[in-house]
Amino acid sequence: MLPEHGKINCRACFSDAEGSQRKPHQDWWMINDPGAWGSSTPDYLVLGFSKGATQSGIYNTGRFEDIAFAGMRPRLTQALQKIGLLEEDETSDQKISDPESKIAFGSLIRCSVSRRDAKASKKKGRDVYACTGPLITKSFSEIPDVINACASKYLGVLPKTVRVVVFLGNSDGYVKGCQELLQRQFPDDFEQINDMAVHADGRVWVHIAHPSGLNGHFNTWLNTDSGPGAKRIKAQQALGIV
């Protein structure tokens, strides 16, 4: 089942001796700050990969409702409207703060994880950790135990109300990692719909463009029908809206 709106009391990946931080891999940091936003019995579940530095920084000092997808909610609203999860007069802000809405928000890894960025570290002369692009793709081979544990606990038995799970991020490597995870998780109920979507566990799991300001392909995905826009069309086709 999905957790209720609020901070989650989960230390499945942490020993008592590790406190609130640990290194699950020599290049990765993990912070124990899991959370859930919106409904616990939704029609739709929207998942990022993990909280970034902006969101993680708000967790201990800010308003809980401000954490999820902080700094990118206008683009998240546009993306969810484009695939039919939000009406034109609805916003992601409203749904993230509303435990009674039809949407739940979270992340594939509920705690915050970040990886050492070799190029940025060399430039700065110190270790720099990030959670973007190619670094995320490395997670499937470098910290699979963390991903598998979180997916098993929070995606393994979803409420029957959930009809669609939306992954934010549609790079080829990330899609491949997520779809292989689902195939392992649900080997008896897995079917490929197209490059951007599968049917598994009785529901559709679809990838859309990540709304981060760092995603330079977002507007092309949103507004065109070629290149990145072709991936949007496949997502819409899987959801039956084109």
**Mean per-residue pLDDT pooled into runs of 10, the chain (242 residues):** 94 91 93 95 97 62 87 97 97 97 97 90 87 89 97 96 98 97 98 98 98 95 97 98 72
What letter represents residue 110's amino acid? R
pLDDT of res. 205: 98
Place of tokens 């110190």: 126
Please answer whether residues 213 and 223 qualify as being in contact, where contact means their C-beta atoms are separated by less than 8 angstroms: no
Domains of the chain by residue range: 33-109+138-238
CATH classification (class only), 33-109+138-238: alpha beta
pTM to 2 decimal places: 0.94
CA–CA gap between residue 242 and residue 231 (Å, rounded):
13
**For residue 126, how many other CB atoms are within 10 A of its CB?**
8
pLDDT of res. 162: 98
